[in-house]
Structure 1
């Protein structure tokens, strides 16, 4: 075997080892819970809602830029083109920070006991939760959140995002738009570098924690991060909670901006490949 090939293989093995180690704190607890048939309403979301298996997430690859010999199908080119347009449109807008995570509240608005999306009880009870929804302006811009609104909550939304007009509504302050960077990245794997997919995954992981801390659920007993620190609820029904939520939302928007740009570059490369 030529020396260069041996060095390339050694480098790839090192990158694979580092990539697996980076993602192990996220993947291994999930696999252990799955083996025990336990569920976690926060941490399991990225493995269940998004269709990228742990084995795929932990597989390292350089992407099309690092391996131009990777085959690109017409379907992948088309998806990359659509994704490029969505990423550009989202990045062109200023971040809107006034939604306060009310999409999760609208998903349980006027629901009967036991009919919520998660088994945890509601922190303010059903009446208190409904009152929060009714006393706020609901302005959800993300279709994949809006589509889970209860029938009574849907007319309360000031926007009407649809499945085919995402580019008309997506904005960088939206938590779900930030989480979806992970979806856009893995749907084009292995053409997108695995390191970028992992960056987007980690952003989505942290956003999901805020999403559920600001949700109406009482997650007492489940709010433990890998360091063992308890999670306190972000009480968006209060002025202090609103300020905390908006500040975190702005931080995630800033963190997502370079990832969105890097992903746009990769999508353009794939669309033209």
Structure 2
């Protein structure tokens, strides 16, 4: 790789400590709840739907092209994919396999397409309502949570407002009666064509795309995307049909004009906050593909 960055031990250890402290704001309470067998309908999602384990979220990594100086850097050699150089320890470029390159290519294509579109702010979080529309007894998603408006009231909201959800990983959880009410028909193979930067779930998923390339993404970028996902998740559930008062969350009443306006304002704010993270991931994927994809092929020729 060209342009290696060498970090003195005090510098990278300070970055490591800052990252661990920052992420433990979320991981420590989650692990304590899990040890007590407690469920949290808002925050558990960050560690169940998303597959990045708490221990991995806490773990700091410098990303590619960074050499860590000092004796304590040798502990990174205990992890898979690091190598020792005359200047210190760094991530082995050969670990950027063809499979990782394909992931980076998809992420680049998806995020570039998403960034090219204008945010659409008129969905009002109805995806969560569609997931319980005319819900049967054996389909209950959050049995421990009451519906604010009851079943009939929830169904009435779904029937009175246009559902326009283009995010497949939300749409796939719609109840069968709700699916025909959606004006869009997102599918997994059409994901690149549908995602847009106003979508809460598309912005939450920046976290997923960051950790999918782990360890070839700096931990700080993964952390930024995680914190965005955590904050969006709160709005997502406050605007849902569930009564979360017992967990300290006030509702965003999207069944009213005032609630829909509140939702759209918050949604626009998250779109603005997500934009630089999306651009950062786009640029990072471009660098990975330009610098690292050619490494295994080059070494194969040398052999």
Q: Structures share a fold, TM > 0.5?
A: yes
Kept in 2: contact 1:76–1:270 (CA 8 A): no
Looking at structure 2, the residues matched to 166 and 153 of structure 1 have their Cα atoms a distance apart, in angstroms, of: 20
**Corresponding position of 2:107:** 83
Q: Deviations over 1:199-232 (max 9, x none)?
A: 0000000000000000000112112xxxxxxx21
**Corresponding position of 1:227:** none
2:295 matched to 1:271? no
DSSP 3-state at the match of 2:231: helix
Report the number of matched residues: 261
Kept in 1: contact 2:206–2:278 (CA 8 A): yes
**Corresponding position of 2:123:** 99
- 1:174 aligns with one of 185, 189, 199: 199
Q: Deviations over 1:99-125 (max 9, x none)?
A: 000000000000135742112011100
**Corresponding position of 1:41:** 41
- The Cα shift of 1:10 comes to 3.2
**Corresponding position of 1:23:** 23
**Corresponding position of 1:239:** 257
Higher relative contact order (CA 8 A, sep 6+): 1
Looking at structure 2, the residues matched to 217 and 114 of structure 1 have their Cα atoms a distance apart, in angstroms, of: 18
**Structure 2 gap segments, 5+ residues each:** 1-5, 67-89, 293-303
Looking at structure 1, the residues matched to 138 and 258 of structure 2 have their Cα atoms a distance apart, in angstroms, of: 30
- 2:240 aligns with one of 206, 211, 215: 215
Kept in 2: contact 1:123–1:218 (CA 8 A): yes
2:152 matched to 1:127? yes
Looking at structure 2, the residues matched to 7 and 137 of structure 1 have their Cα atoms a distance apart, in angstroms, of: 53
Q: Which has the larger radius of gyration?
A: 2
Q: Deviations over 1:69-93 (max 9, x none)?
A: 4421110001000110000000000
Kept in 2: contact 1:113–1:126 (CA 8 A): no
**Structure 1 gap segments, 5+ residues each:** 1-5, 224-230
Looking at structure 1, the residues matched to 251 and 221 of structure 2 have their Cα atoms a distance apart, in angstroms, of: 30
**TM-score, structure 2 normalization:** 0.83
Root mean square deviation, CA, Å: 1.5
Looking at structure 1, the residues matched to 100 and 283 of structure 2 have their Cα atoms a distance apart, in angstroms, of: 15
**Corresponding position of 1:204:** 229
Kept in 2: contact 1:78–1:271 (CA 8 A): no
- The Cα shift of 1:65 comes to 4.1
**TM-score, structure 1 normalization:** 0.92
2:183 matched to 1:165? no
Change (3 A) 1:54 1:265: same
The answer to which structure has the higher strand fraction is 2
Q: Deviations over 1:1-45 (max 9, x none)?
A: xxxxx9733332222111111111111000000111111010111
- 1:252 aligns with one of 270, 288, 295: 270
DSSP 3-state at the match of 2:141: coil
